[in-house]
A and B are shown apart, each in its own frame.
Chain A
């Protein structure tokens, strides 16, 4: 089973600033990597798939990059609605596995 490791666990950012979240796979997952956003009390929401394709309705300030074992989710200028937990998930190998999440909190 592929282990997904996210860093940092918590990221404190001021509104308007940028943020970079990292996700590392224990072995190559090609570009079969998704990011989900989860707000308190809500279900996860698909944000990025194919490592870099934004899902419907996701603002352009979110961008994903990477392939193989190293991936990044970048938020260019944080808005109030962006403070949440972000999970990466590989779906290249069976079974698909999730990282433990990065919490983006207001500084």
Chain B
């Protein structure tokens, strides 16, 4: 059974940093493409970033609102996904989910098969 457990969320002030972790089990993490998706409470979902498996190049992409401030990374030896969040803004307040990521032939983007329970991040002065 796929399990994704996020941690590291909390309350921070604008301009501060936070690192989220996502511990994976139940599947071959090193072969998986992974993503972070966030959700403002009571609102919709927004893709934050994606990282490919090492076999696919290991490269990452980030959404425009977080580019240059957030960095997604992975440690396959620990089956763990990370999201380093710097220069946090109030608009980054959300629940952050990690998710296994699937790319479909013919599509430019991806869908999300399995999700963790999320970790809340609040940015407030």
Instruction: Report which A residues bind B (CB closer than 8 A).
Output: 30, 32, 34, 36, 42-46, 49-50, 55, 87, 89-101
A8 to B69, CA, bound (A): 35
C-alpha gap A34/B107 in the complex (Å): 12
CB of A95 within 8 A of CB of B109, answer yes
* Complex contacts, B45 vs chain A, CB 8 Å: 36, 44, 87, 89, 98
Contact of A92 among B44, B63, B109, B115 (CB under 8 A): B109
The tally of residues in B whose CB lies under 8 Å from a CB in A reads 21
User: Which residues of B (80-99) have their CB < 8 Å from a CB of A?
Assistant: 97
Q: Is the CB of A96 within 8 A of B110?
A: yes
Residues of A contacting B109 in the complex (Cβ-Cβ under 8 angstroms): 32, 90-96
> Which of B46, B110, B114, B116 has the most A CB atoms < 10 Å from its CB?
B110
A32 close to B115 (CB less than 8 A): no
Chain B contacts with A in 89-125, Cβ cutoff 8 A: 97, 104, 106-118
Q: Is the CB of B44 within 8 A of A99?
A: yes
A97 contact set on B, CB distance < 8 A: 47
Q: Which residues in window 48-79 of B have CB below 8 A to A?
A: 63
CB distance from A69 to the nearest CB of B (A): 16
Chain B residues with CB under 8 Å of A30's CB are: 106-107
B64 to chain A, nearest CB (A): 8
- Given A50-B104, A98-B44, A98-B46: A34 and B111 within 8 A (CB)? yes
Docked pose: A30 CA to B106 CA in angstroms:
10
Contacting pair B108 A93 (CB below 8 A): yes
Residues of chain A contacted by B113 (CB below 8 angstroms):
46, 55
Cβ proximity bits B24-41 to A, threshold 8 Å, 1 near / 0 not: 000000000000000000
Residues of B within 8 Å of A44, CB to CB, are 45, 97, 112, 115
